[in-house]
Chain A
């Protein structure tokens, strides 16, 4: 009887240990995924993912009002609005998007022509909207 009880007890202990291990693995999984993702992200960035340039839109201008890129370099423009919906348009650089407040909008470009490109807000945002612009210089 004692031996059966001991056997049952040992089995219960083993089951609890296994359960703890499963719980531990289960709890660690998201962290592991995050860690792996970060590692992969760092690796990818280190191996040449696009440079990120932040640009903020606010009536009636962009900050910064000028950015300089290199010809042939792939760059992500990370756009953010501090007030209302703005446009972001420069046909020659194939830029044509809207910037909604509360969201981040990424535009990835690889300029193949050097020059100075005036990029405008083309979404009417108020009486002085017509002068809302910035310059993208490609060297």
Chain B
């Protein structure tokens, strides 16, 4: 399988395509063809994350502007993606339920402008606290699905709704049963909000039982974990599992290895979308994913430019 990302200026467009029959991916394709008579067909999806609708503050006074820009760009894609999936923190939490309800309503109004096949969400902790508004059917939890005949297996893991940064025993039990239906070579894409590994527990950038999740997925040859939460670029690889932080739609956080305190990076009026950007993912000939970062620009999608991220 090939997973490629394109410059959107707001998120990541992932495209999965069958590779020429070579290597493990080729073996998987042949296995699918022989055993099921089905071949993988191209598909694409966009991941958006951390819109924090309702947040207004010095670190980013733009409110929903980046989110709305993202929607415009998704609608401007040459080919509409099959799926747009939000990996959490759709809204910014508040103690006032009425206010939170308005924020969720605003999020839905903006996201519904996207002309795509499906829009799904996994919750972030700002939707999961005791004060969160319940929106049945909006948040996707404890479920999995495949896009028609396209044989990529998706797992959506909620690691926030227990109010703790964890998947929880019940969800883990489900996870152990679910991928067992697939061959070890089947590509698996996991959507979740928090990182599943200990990136920076002191900043709550971790999942308490993330190791248990990764142990379940360890036997699979091709696992990609797409998450949000940290508002910055990051990629991590362990075994056959590749972890990619999503691009984000509100203020950025600094590199935890370089600063002691978790404070948002200051807003730059001259470059309002500085540090908001995209991740480009391509698969090399050696079947490894290569990642390039592209900063958010107001240009057209093809005109987005690569840059060095601070």
Contact = CB atoms under 8 A, between A and B. Distances in A.
Given A122-B165, A124-B160, A124-B163, A91 B95 contact: no
A126 B164 contact: no
A124 B128 contact: yes
A118 B202 contact: yes
Nearest to A127: B93
Given A122-B165, A123-B164, A91 B94 contact: no
Size class of the B contact interface (CB-based, 8 Å): 20 to 34
A77 B245 CA distance: 36
Given A87-B164, A127-B92, A130-B262, A122 B204 contact: yes
Q: Please classify the interface of chain B as helix (H, G, I), strand (E, B), loop, or mixed, using the class held by over half of its residues.
A: loop
Contact of A125 (B129, B160, B202, B208): B129
A121 to B, nearest CB: 9
Q: Please classify the interface of chain A as helix (H, G, I), strand (E, B), loop, or mixed, using the class held by over half of its residues.
A: mixed
A133 B95 CA distance: 20
B174 interface: no
Contacts of B208: 89, 96, 122
A127 B198 CA distance: 22
B302 interface: no
B305 interface: no
Interface of B: 92-95, 125-126, 128-131, 160, 163-165, 198, 201-204, 208, 262
16 contacts: A85-B163, A87-B164, A89-B201, A89-B208, A118-B202, A120-B201, A120-B204, A122-B164, A124-B160, A124-B163, A127-B94, A127-B95, A127-B126, A130-B203, A130-B262, A131-B262
Interface of A: 84-85, 87, 89, 91, 96, 118, 120, 122-127, 129-131, 133
